[in-house]
Amino acid sequence: MARRKIVAGNWKMNMTPSEAVKLAEELKPLVQSDSVDVVYCVPAIDIIPVVEAVKGTNVAVGAENMYFEEKGAFTGEISAAMLKDAGVQYVILGHSERRDYFKEDDALLNKKVKKAFEAGLTPILCCGESLEQREMGVTMDWIRFQIKSDLVGVSADQVASMVIAYEPIWAIGTGKTATTEQAQEVCKGIRDCIAEIYDDATAASVRIQYGGSVNAGNAAELFAQSDIDGGLVGGASLKPDFGKIVNYQ
């Protein structure tokens, strides 16, 4: 059975609650699709109004981050249970901005992945290399380390149901995009890594997105690759063009 494509918008730190509702309403008729899963990953303060705004549509709501503890003295953090109760279905974990700016390491992300599953959320686990790492020729070594570390103790059934997003750090928000061949090569490498850790069936089931300056002009070619199952979209998810990315066929 072919894997169903999934296109997720990562709104990052953009959109006040009122702006978020306006954007969700504007995008409603543009992102309708029976063949692609559509997700808006929005700032925490926007979650509840956006969940309300997309009720009755094909759009699911995701969070951009979460903490691994259930409750307690963790000022400013948000738990998986809070997200689930608010109507969230997906959560981005390990985005390079979280890894870089906020120093999140793989041991922390492993705890987050496990807690997301425990709460009934679907992780969108990000991985990717810097320009320096690509030029050194260690791209797959680095990404395999991230994947193996982040999935310690995670079951095959859980991995089969999750999403992995390959985001070359050098292509995020820069306007640069990995070539189709580069993106396919790494996504296949990720799938091969999953097969090694688990089995071929798990590797065949897990959905792997490409992220990094995905736009209406390159989405169709990227998504046509055998190991690319959609995109994690940054800036273009805040524009009407997001509809063209979703309906790339």
Q: Parallel, antiparallel, or unpaired: how do β-strands 230-233 and 5-10 relate?
A: parallel
Instruction: Provide mean pLDDT across the span 96-108.
Output: 97
Report CA torsion sign: 31, 36, 42, 47.
positive
Selecting among 64, 95, 104, 129, the annotated active-site residue is 95
Report CA torsion sign: 152, 154, 157, 158.
negative
Instruction: Provide mean pLDDT across the span 91-110.
Output: 97
pLDDT band at 87 (very low <50, low <70, confident <90, very high): very high
Give CA–CA dist 114/238, Å, rounded.
Answer: 30
Determine whether 118 is an active site residue.
Answer: no
Structure tokens given for 184: 């396919």
Structure tokens given for 201: 């069936």
Determine whether 132 is an active site residue.
Answer: no
Per-residue pLDDT reduced to its tens digit, 192-237 = 999 999 999 999 999 999 998 899 999 999 999 999 999 999 999 9
Q: Yes or no: say if 79 and 72 are a contact pair by the CB < 8 Å rule.
A: no
pLDDT band at 153 (very low <50, low <70, confident <90, very high): very high
CATH of the domain at 73: 3.20.20.70
Instruction: Please report, for residues 6, 211, 226, the alpha-carbon distance to residue 208 in angstroms, rounded to integers and kept in the order given.
Output: 9, 10, 10
Which residues are paired to 59 by β-bridges? 38
Does residue 1 have a pLDDT over 70? no
Place of tokens 């999750």: 162
- Per-chain mean pLDDT for the chain: 96
Q: Yes or no: say if 209 and 124 are a contact pair by the CB < 8 Å rule.
A: yes
Instruction: Provide mean pLDDT across the span 7-28.
Output: 98
Instruction: Provide mean pLDDT across the span 28-34.
Output: 96
Boundaries of domain holding 157: 5-246
Per-residue pLDDT reduced to its tens digit, 158-184 = 999 999 999 999 988 888 778 999 999
Quote the number of domains for the chain: 1
Say if residue 81 is exposed, middle or buried (CB neighbours under 10 Å; 0-12, 13-18, 19+).
Answer: middle
pTM above 0.85, yes or no: yes
Q: Output the CA angle 142-201-125, nearest 5 degrees.
A: 40
Which residues are paired to 163 by β-bridges? 124, 207
Selecting among 25, 129, 167, 185, the annotated active-site residue is 167
